[in-house]
Amino acid sequence: MKKFPFLFLFLHFFYGCIISYSDFPKKEKTSNPKIYFSVEDPKNWNERRKEFLKRGWKELELDRFPQKNKDRIHFLISRFPGLSSQEPEVRKALSAKGWKEIENYPPEKGYYIDMKSSQKDPSLGAMIFLYISYATFTIIPSYSGKDGANIIFTVYKDNTVVKTFEYELTRKAFVWILTLPLLWLNYIYPSEMEAYQAVIDQFESDLYSSKL
């Protein structure tokens, strides 16, 4: 099973392989996206708060999700597909949310997030045809539409699990030597990192909406 993603990478760069990702959260097309706010300066607090609420923004409860350095949300990635090259970018995406990566041990007090991303295995038939395609230098086509990743975010408070959020992304790949002229489609379809970014954005929204 572990060799399967490697074959996709090999075929993608040296033969004809079109890859796209699906089943990850899609951003809603709306002119009024949900925006969160907090005002730390007590001066003119009521006026600014009313102004933001009128705009439809949602107020963050600082006592639940404080953002000071000593109390900010921490995160760690305890599992990630070994053959994926996106882990550094995923770390950057999590840090961009204002969350701090855990360097040694999880904090005993406060919130932290444990992210696990595990490989979602393809069907046996897809594996067989991919190996046949690989052996024939992609003269024989193959298709896989069920592998990808299962992603779990576990939220801890004071080292106790308070909630778990589960998501998935599915990778679809079509391998055939005649697709070489169409490889530019890979730049149009959602990439692996775009899929992970959508999952992280959805998790952030679900986290603050859960009222833990």
Query: Domain coordinates of the chain in residue numbers?
Result: 3-28+66-209
The most distant pair of C-alpha atoms in the chain lies apart, rounded to whole Å, by: 71
Average pLDDT over residues 149-171: 96
What does the H/E/C string look like for the chain? CCHHHHHHHHHHHHCCEEEEEECCCCCCCCCCCCCEECCCCCCCHHHHHHHHHHCCCEECCCCCCCCCCCCCCEEEEEECCCCCCCHHHHHHHHHCCCCEECCCCCCCCCEEEEEEEEEECCCHHHHHHHHHHHHCCCCCCEEEEEEEEEEEEEEEECCEEEEEEEEEEEEEEEECHHHHHHHHHHHCCCCHHHHHHHHHHHHHHHHHHCCC
Percent of all residues in the chain with a pLDDT value above 70, rounded to a whole number: 75
Host H or E run for residue 73:
none
pLDDT tens per residue across span 45-103: 677 777 777 777 766 654 444 444 445 799 999 999 866 789 999 999 999 998 999 98
Average pLDDT over residues 164-187: 89
Between 42-51, 124-133, 169-178, 185-194, the lowest mean confidence (pLDDT) is in: 42-51
Query: Tokens 């932290």 correspond to what residue?
Result: 112
**74 and 100 in contact (C-beta within 8 Å)?**
yes
Q: According to CATH, what is the number of the domain 3-28+66-209?
A: 3.30.160
CA distance 177 to 167: 33
pLDDT tens per residue across span 88-139: 999 999 999 989 999 888 888 899 999 999 999 888 998 898 889 888 988 9
